[in-house]
Amino acid sequence: MIYKRSSELFNEAQKVIPGGVNSPVRAFKAVGGDPIFIQKAEGAYLYDEDGNKLIDYINSWGPMILGHAHKPVVDAVVDKARKGTSFGTPTELETRIAELAVKMVPNIDKIRMVNSGTEACMSAVRLARGFTGKEKIIKFAGCYHGHSDSFLIQAGSGAVTFGTPNSPGVTQGTAKDTLLAKYNDLENVKELIAANKEEIACIILEPVAGNMGCIPPAEGFLEGLRKLCNENDILLIFDEVMTGFRLAPGGVQERSGVNADIVCFGKVIGGGLPVGAFAARNEIMDYLAPVGPVYQAGTLSGNPLAMAAGYAMLKELHDNPSIFESIDKKTEYLHEGMARVIESHKVAHTINRVGSMISVHFSEEPVTDFASSAKAASNGVFNKFFHGMLENGIYIAPSAYETWFINDALSYEDLDKTIEVVDKVAKTL
């Protein structure tokens, strides 16, 4: 395929936008080459500035669960836009989407809308600290909760040491309050808790990881975290920005039967527009201003365009729960097909899948965490795989550390074509 216009646009963008992109992973730095500039999207497909049609497995990093430009969502946004784009005042639609979310998700009574997943996770941690009166948090290596300072922390020198900043601009003072644990390792979490008695406000994690590729929680891991939190007066925060309203109507809480204290949302809840949210039971949420002492605010939070898109999306998922079965079956079909053809070429690999999230890791070992598995997989093989897929009209995440997202607009013909391309590319690996 020819990407002449995309390359020209990238050159222009680099003159006025840092790195030519407004979010780093878009720059293709991890895989090499120039990013593709998209002109439009519809259903399961992207159409770039050079006129190429691509089968899309990013889906705007997850929210397009029903496909791009889904008519009920587009119609809802257009209708609202004609009446005004933002008022800075309450609207009835904010209440209606909150009611629907509370109805769909177990173990929450109230929800606060914000403008991004980063904002949701940042606010959830502040709320947890305010509610518990404690300052330290535990997060997991490889789990991404946005670019708030508290989350940009890398490992310290030992199991119970503080983390250190992994981005300039994050202070050592912030880093000392963030403890870094190993995903799927309960013993590591127990060590951290024991070394920081009565100091930990919350444990935050992606209950199904999507930012080191798709990595499922090990059997008993979520249940073990819930037990540890109960025993030590720690709040458990599920970052369901990717998984919420995607893996089930009620997200991982519903799918696993494990309840979190605070849940963060994004992606699907905005129907493709910039939206995030966090939710909990009444006693926690009532610590938020204006009724409680923990301050959180946002001029565009709950703006009518985002609420219109989100409500249209959630309403369709609520009214048609068979959608979840449909996308899960399509993901399983893709998984089985890719495994079959990659194995036929004797390429070392592991495929992880949970519901409609899936990743291909070029590793001989099971991929269960970041440091020992995902990071140890062959990025060189992945990069070759990525460009082979792209050259044949399949658009996957330009990083070995990102999950693929399946949408219901994908046909089985699209899936068969994808498997054929995987077969073709695997021969060259």
The one-letter amino acid at 271: G
* Spacing of C-alpha 14 from chain mean position: 27
Do 211 and 235 contact (CB within 8 A), yes or no?
A: no
Question: What three-state secondary structure class fits 420?
Answer: helix
One-letter amino acid at 156 equals: G
Q: Which are the contacts of 23, defined by CB distance < 8 A and separation ≥ 6?
A: none
Strand 38-42 to strand 200-205: parallel, antiparallel, or no bridges (unpaired)?
A: unpaired
Count CB-CB contacts under 10 A for residue 182.
20
Residues 6 or more apart in contact with residue 366 via CB below 8 angstroms: 350, 373
Any catalytic annotation for residue 3?
no
Instruction: Count how many residues are written for the chain.
Output: 429
Q: How far apart are CA 34 and CA 42, in angstroms?
A: 23
Pairing of strands 262-265, 235-239: parallel
- Rounded CA separation 291/285 (Å): 9
Per the listing, tokens 């059997």 go with 219
Annotated catalytic residue within 80, 182, 267, 330: 267
Q: Which residues contact 335 (CB under 8 A, 6 or more apart)?
A: 351, 353, 358
Of 239, 369, 408, 414, which is the active-site residue?
A: 239
Contacts of 414 (CB under 8 A, 6+ apart): 44, 55
Q: Other C-beta atoms within 10 Å of 279: how many?
A: 26
Q: Is 19 exposed, middle or buried (0-12, 13-18, 19+ CB in 10 A)?
A: middle
Q: Is 329 a catalytic residue?
A: no
346 is catalytic: no
Instruction: Check 3, 45, 57, 144 and give the catalytic one.
Output: 144
Q: Which residues are catalytic?
A: 144, 239, 267
